[in-house]
Amino acid sequence: MQILLIHSDFIEYETKKSTPVAEKIDDDLKKGRMEEVLAVFVAVEKSDEDKPEYAASQTVAEIKKVTEQVKTNRVMLYPYAHLSSSLSSPKTAIETLKKIEELLKEAQFEVKRAPFGWYKSFTIKCKGHPLSELSRTIRIGEEKCVMVLKEKEKEEVVSEALKSEAKATSYWHILTPEGELLKPEEFDFKGHDNLKKFVNYEIHKSRAVDKIPPHVELMRRLELADYEPGSDSGNMRFYPKGRLMKSLIENYVLEETAKMGAMEVETPLMYDMNHPTLKKYLDRFPARQYSIEADKKQLFLRFAACFGQFLMNHDMTISYRNLPLRMVELTRYSFRKEQSGELVGLRRLRAFTMPDMHSLCKDMDEAVEQFNEQYNMCINVLSKIGINLSDFEVAIRFTRDFYEENRDFIVGLVKTVNKPVLIELWDQRFFYFVLKFEFNYIDAMDKASALSTVQIDVENAERYGIKYIDSTGAEKRPFILHCSPSGAIERCIYALLEKANMNSEKGIVPMFPVWLSPTQVRVIPVAGKHMEYAKKVAGELNGRVDIDDREETVGKKIRDAGKEWIPYVAVVGDEEINSGNITVTVRSESLPNKPSNIKMSVGELNERISKEISDFPFKRHPLAVKLTERPRFV
């Protein structure tokens, strides 16, 4: 049995023409309409033929569940053969449909049934809320819901978490730094445009813009990253400049976690799907996996570093003196087989790089304290990457129990960012965590993407058998914090590109932070005879320096340097050779089409650059110093 449930403002149908298998009907059934209704499209299948009554009763049970969630008692049954490629006989189908109708009527539902075996026209207005479109497969002898992948004729096991999410009821609020907990409709969003967009995105899932994402064009034009047609969708190629930026951010984040005391480890990319512990965890994690078969094993590609680290924790001997114990891994890659329609440029990928840190804490007090410390670290990390407090919106999500016990702490988190945040509250714990936050970047299309996140996990220490010995010698379960200080590195680059594009539209010249700029200084000799001097200057300059040795006009070279968002462009010609200075175009001080030129010494420029990059990792330029020696990637 396949059913598709659509919570609708209305559905109406009209019979057009009978088919050979049509049931005989009275004229009054040739048209039908219901309002505020759950439309149930049904395909009775071959596998139902053994026990049609069982199939009918299971279907009714599913319908009841959904009607309770969407709060209606009106049902329109609509035979819909297209849901299945393995249909039952028409006779069984009609019987089963009638049985469903009968059972629903017994349960006090207001039911109508569209006739079987007719060509019908129908109009339906779907309500469009998160639960308004659901599908179910009902199989005899199986309690579990499974989704059927038609193209593979293979059943995909959908994790329990994916399902439980549909059942979770969320209560949305806005929490202000003053500690006021307001319903979204009570909150005055004036001056909080991005928060409004974020709330709208989270709760109503509605957007009104249709533009192509600017970062997709930029990632190619700047030769950072590109699609790889030879791979699966959502698996990108990174050109030298993109790889450089990724590498710098990766190293930076790792360094910040190391400062906190995190130990860097490395764990496998693929795991046995039938490992008893992992199997249970898969069920609690709402992600779809890539799976591969090797020898006789079913393996899946990791979607985070949790697996490897928890398995490692399981085998470790840990004393209370070792806590909080932090481990970090930079996952290159984490794999998530997101739905194809969801993939966009660098925003949503199927293979991405993510720092994943886990902290074992002795009790909830320590977990909360660590949570707070990591919350602050995340703010700092993002701002150093170039994404400031004003660029992202905060969501804090927790269970009601956690909130009751930690009200002041939650308000404290809001005070830290000093702006209202979105709160999602659950009556029960549907997930493995009791508290989490995310920092969400809001782009020009009003889409929200999570960057940093921390969660307090109360489940996995038990599941993985992770324990520590407390001061009395007793074994105890730690609480585990999951933390990704920056979120996916690719997503950080997406946010930087989108931000730069937004700036550009506001009349601000777009650029990356200097420490992340692939070329930090470009030296431009005015004519061929200045080349030797240009090389000398380049040799004396700090940072990633290159030389535009092409035979182009100065104007053209300046413009091209601008197109690459190079922070400092030093022109050298007769004047500079005579004065010993260089003339520097400073991007951060330039206006569109109005470069800002400052005469300074090489030493002065070095000092300026040092100030901007000294706190960060440094890597040499991956490309040849002379532009004429560089290939083009796009």
Partner RNA sequence: GCCGUCGUGGCUUAGCUCGGUAAAGCGGCUGAUUCGUAAUCAGCAGAUCAAGGGUUCAAAUCCCUUCGACGGCUCCA
Least distance in angstroms from the C-beta of 401 to RNA? 18
Q: Is 621 annotated as a binding-site member? A: no
Q: Which is nearer to RNA, 113 or 348 (CB)?
A: 348
User: Taking Cα atoms as reference points, which of 492, 487, 489 lies closest to residue 386?
Assistant: 492
In three-state form (DSSP H/G/I as H, E/B as E, the rest C), the secondary structure along 501-551 is: HHHHHCCCCCCCCHHHCCCCEEEEECCHHHHHHHHHHHHHCCCCEEECCCC
Q: What is the DSSP letter of 565?
A: T
Token pair recorded at residue 361: 């804490």
The whole-angstrom separation of Cα 200 and Cα 195 is: 8
Q: Which is nearer to RNA, 101 or 223 (CB)?
A: 223
Least distance in angstroms from the C-beta of 413 to RNA? 16
Q: Which is nearer to RNA, 405 or 629 (CB)?
A: 629
Q: What is the DSSP letter of 419?
A: S
Q: Which is nearer to RNA, 432 or 468 (CB)?
A: 432
Least distance in angstroms from the C-beta of 210 to RNA? 4
Assess contact for 562 and 587: CB atoms under 8 A: yes
Least distance in angstroms from the C-beta of 244 to RNA? 21
Assess contact for 309 and 267: CB atoms under 8 A: yes
Q: Is 361 annotated as a binding-site member? A: no
Least distance in angstroms from the C-beta of 284 to RNA? 9
The upper half-sphere exposure of residue 618, i.e. CA atoms within 13 Å in the direction of its Cβ, equals 14
Least distance in angstroms from the C-beta of 53 to RNA? 30
User: Taking Cα atoms as reference points, which of 166, 116, 159, 164 lies closest to residue 5?
Assistant: 166
Provide the residue type at 405 as one letter: E
The upper half-sphere exposure of residue 134, i.e. CA atoms within 13 Å in the direction of its Cβ, equals 24
Q: Which is nearer to RNA, 470 or 540 (CB)?
A: 540
Assess contact for 438 and 485: CB atoms under 8 A: no
Q: Which is nearer to RNA, 49 or 540 (CB)?
A: 540
Per the rule left: phi > 0, alpha: psi between -120 and 50, beta: everything else, 153 is left
Paired sense of beta strands 297-301 and 475-476, if any: unpaired
Q: Which is nearer to RNA, 254 or 569 (CB)?
A: 569
Least distance in angstroms from the C-beta of 340 to RNA? 3
Least distance in angstroms from the C-beta of 204 to RNA? 9
Q: Is 204 annotated as a binding-site member? A: no
User: Taking Cα atoms as reference points, which of 357, 168, 182 lies closest to residue 254?
Assistant: 357
Q: Which is nearer to RNA, 116 or 307 (CB)?
A: 307
* Residue ranges in 150-283 assigned as alpha helix (H): 160-167, 193-199, 214-221, 240-260, 276-282
Point out the annotated binding site: 306, 358, 482
The annotation places the binding site for Zn(2+) at 306, 358, 482
